[in-house]
């Protein structure tokens, strides 16, 4: 039997024509053309390509944000230290009566002949918290082991008429806890504005060591001198670094400290 490729009817093998559809059994119907696959719209292909690119861009942005934040934090400048004098009294300890605050000192009217070296000096702020110590010159021994007068004379020369030497003597006296001698190196006007009992005795009572790292005269003329100092103070094991200037005036007793202008540095 032969199956007709046109209608599917069964015919005898000797037949040449289909008994049902009368079509030649050797002829097959024309094959149907293959249906072409529909083409994707160009827009869909574009979206397909853009999706991975957008995902990659999002990942890159997410990774870059923490790095950008870190650089921004590093590049941000630290706020400048407030200009506070190093002779502010320390806060009273627990159980200790707070010292009576002195009235805000008025500006010093002492004329300064050297206009290139004169500086405005901030007066102590009664409400602000003291944070550091005095200025510098040459290394000063720890307050725990104060040197005697002979040792001081051998280590720091005190030439007559040298304002920087007066500054060094002041810090040597504070280091040796000789607060009376330190107060004697202040002018009467300085002692009136900054009572030594509060600004020397109480201020440096907790100081463990105060080292004068360096001092130099910035200007000297008309009986007024300006001395730069660099001081490191140790309180409760913590070091505090101070830099700034001292104004000194030439009196009948020699050079005396008249006005501080110190600030804490990191």
Residue 109 lies in a domain: no
pLDDT surpasses 90 at 240:
yes
pLDDT at res. 211: 94
Name the residue range of residue 164's domain: 149-265
Residue 119 lies in a domain: no
pLDDT at res. 32: 65
Residue 214 lies in a domain: yes
pLDDT surpasses 70 at 188:
yes
Higher pLDDT, 11 or 37: 11
CB 204 within 8 A of CB 173: no
Residue 44 lies in a domain: no
Arithmetic mean of pLDDT, 99-110: 45
Name the least confident of 42-46, 78-82, 164-168, 226-230: 78-82
Residue 55 lies in a domain: no
Q: In total, how many domains does the chain have? A: 2
Give the 3-state secondary structure of residue 108: coil
pLDDT at res. 146: 39
Arithmetic mean of pLDDT, 184-203: 96
- C-alpha torsion sign, points 52, 57, 58, 64: positive
- Percentage of the chain surpassing pLDDT 90? 39
Higher pLDDT, 156 or 162: 162
Q: What is the largest CA-CA distance in the chain?
A: 153
Residue 253 lies in a domain: yes
pLDDT surpasses 50 at 24:
yes
Residue 35 lies in a domain: no
Name the least confident of 16-30, 55-69, 113-127, 190-204: 113-127
pLDDT at res. 75: 52
Residue 252 lies in a domain: yes
**Residues recorded for the chain:** 266
Arithmetic mean of pLDDT, 155-173: 78
pLDDT at res. 92: 47
Q: What is the pLDDT of residues 71-81, one digit of tens each?
A: 665 555 444 44
Listed in sequence order, the DSSP H helices in the chain are 42-75, 149-155, 163-175, 179-184, 188-193, 196
What is the C-alpha to C-alpha distance for residues 69 and 64, in angstroms, rounded to an integer? Answer: 9
CB 156 within 8 A of CB 186: no
């Amino acid at each position: 039997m032969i199956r007709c490729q046109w209608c599917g009817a069964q015919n005898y093998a000797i037949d040449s024509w289909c008994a049902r559809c009368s079509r030649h059994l050797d002829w097959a119907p024309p094959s149907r053309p293959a249906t072409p696959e529909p083409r994707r719209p160009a827009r869909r292909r574009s979206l397909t390509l853009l999706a991975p690119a957008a995902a990659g861009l999002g990942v890159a942005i997410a990774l870059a944000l923490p790095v950008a934040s870190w650089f921004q934090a590093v590049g941000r400048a630290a706020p400048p230290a407030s200009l506070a004098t190093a002779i502010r009294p320390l806060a009273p300890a627990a159980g200790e009566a707070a010292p009576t605050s002195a009235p805000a000192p008025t500006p010093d009217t002492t004329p300064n002949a050297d206009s290139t070296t004169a500086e405005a000096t901030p007066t102590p702020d009664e409400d602000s918290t003291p944070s550091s110590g005095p200025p510098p010159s040459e290394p000063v021994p720890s307050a725990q082991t104060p040197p005697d007068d002979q040792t001081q004379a051998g280590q720091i020369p005190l030439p007559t008429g040298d304002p920087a030497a007066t500054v060094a003597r002041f810090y040597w006296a504070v280091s040796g806890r000789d607060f009376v001698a330190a107060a004697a190196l202040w002018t009467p006007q300085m002692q009136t504005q900054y009572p030594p009992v509060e600004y020397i005795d109480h201020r440096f009572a907790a100081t463990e060591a105060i080292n004068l790292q360096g001092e130099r005269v910035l200007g000297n003329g008309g009986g007024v001198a300006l001395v730069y100092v660099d001081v490191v103070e140790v309180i409760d094991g913590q070091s505090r670094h101070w830099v700034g200037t001292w104004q000194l005036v030439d009196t009948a007793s020699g050079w005396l400290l008249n006005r501080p202008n110190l600030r804490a540095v990191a």
